[in-house]
Structure 1
């Protein structure tokens, strides 16, 4: 499917972690340290997948809690699922590991390329004190930064998307959303009428029933071409 370039976008919105910031590498290192400290025999990759898909993701749909608390609580649940002893302080610094995550190698150059042509915004299932580190590492190029702390709701709830559109004063039809998550971004951005570019860094298969994005790319380098900035 050819990406629809009209009407010309006024606003580019981004999922932050996994799209612009390599949180996966940072959190995997953190989880590996936890497993080592607990002397668990489970492979780090198995524990990580269990933590994210069985505990962290489902918590997004539960009663709202700040993301640092969600990280800690979901880690506790994952540890218990592997029979580990859980101490009250376990996971206190999980949010710090997320705050320390660095941009992907293609992120900063890409943002500087598109910033002169579009307004930029972030829509993130994070909290303000975590994402402030990411925004600084990306040279403060974003006019709008919307976190779950702003709305007390997590994507895929539409509140975050609706808030950035309201603050920018633009309709969804002139907004392009650029995101890596088929779990929390695509299910909302596409039905809301945002043209959506899926940054499929991990070569995932689109799950049945997930709204189809308007373009799929392995990283950010091809986005300027899709938007018509380069040939």
Structure 2
């Protein structure tokens, strides 16, 4: 196997999106003056589930618009009527600002990107809107990105992966895709022939009917070892 380029799921794989999303939900609850026994992390998870269901369950809409619809549903379920005389778009903007700007890099991400950027083209493939991704913390490592907004499709649709491959100009079999999100990325990338390294940070299990990744690691560090091994093999051929 010859790897010519690396692609990534950005939010979750490279940055701790749960931390940013929790901070965002804390800010929304503070703006609304809502006090609840439920944690902000738990409410953020409820929003995330609703958000994914919405963008996977209908025709393409901008991430911002889907996020706002999920926010309405989430907050109404938390406290019916809480959005009366409120601006959901403004609340969603507060939330998304933290989601994209306050999500810190995982400890292994920057060392890996520092090394990998010297050897491979790197490209995130993300379900985020393009302008929101540009506000995230690690954009300096990437010359290009492929977003759902560009493809008018969300992962696991093959449309977004196919667009990324076209923009890279590299055969699918020569791309290693690194991702935390199994349902979005293994399911989307494998049918196109991409190699997949599942970065299973949480020790999750795959569904019975899901395709299996080519590699599974608990963080990004072993991916460097893998790539160095493959380069040595290829150089020796």
User: 1:71-103: CA deviations, max 9, x gaps?
Assistant: 222111111122331232332322211221232
Q: Find the counterpart in structure 1 of residue 70 from structure 2.
A: 74
Q: Find the counterpart in structure 2 of residue 110 from structure 1.
A: 112
User: 1:156-187: CA deviations, max 9, x gaps?
Assistant: 11111101111111111111100110121111
Q: Is the helix fraction higher in 1 or 2?
A: 2
Contact 1:72 1:94 in 2 (8 A): no
1:132 alignment partner, one of 131, 134, 138 = 134
Q: Find the counterpart in structure 2 of residue 59 from structure 1.
A: 54
Q: Which entry has the higher C-alpha Rg, 1 or 2? A: 2
Partner of 2:182, secondary structure, is coil
Query: Number of residue pairs matched?
Result: 222
Is it true that 1:223 corresponds to 2:219 in the alignment? no
Instruction: Tell me how far 1:145 sits from its aligned partner.
Output: 0.3
Cα distance in 2 between the residues matched to 1:76 and 1:12: 37
TM-score, with normalisation over the residues of structure 2? 0.86
1:22 alignment partner, one of 16, 21, 37 = 16
Q: Find the counterpart in structure 2 of residue 40 from structure 1.
A: 36
Instruction: Tell me how far 1:116 sits from its aligned partner.
Output: 2.0
Is the alpha carbon distance of 1:46 and 1:141 closer, same or farther for their aligned partners in structure 2, counting shifts above 3 Å?
closer
Cα distance in 1 between the residues matched to 2:112 and 2:180: 16
Cα distance in 2 between the residues matched to 1:88 and 1:113: 44
Is the alpha carbon distance of 1:28 and 1:139 closer, same or farther for their aligned partners in structure 2, counting shifts above 3 Å?
closer
TM-score, with normalisation over the residues of structure 1? 0.88
Q: Where do 5+ consecutive residues of structure 1 fail to align?
A: 1-5
Which moves more between the two structures, 14-23 or 87-96? 87-96
Is it true that 1:88 corresponds to 2:87 in the alignment? yes
Q: Where do 5+ consecutive residues of structure 2 fail to align?
A: 233-237
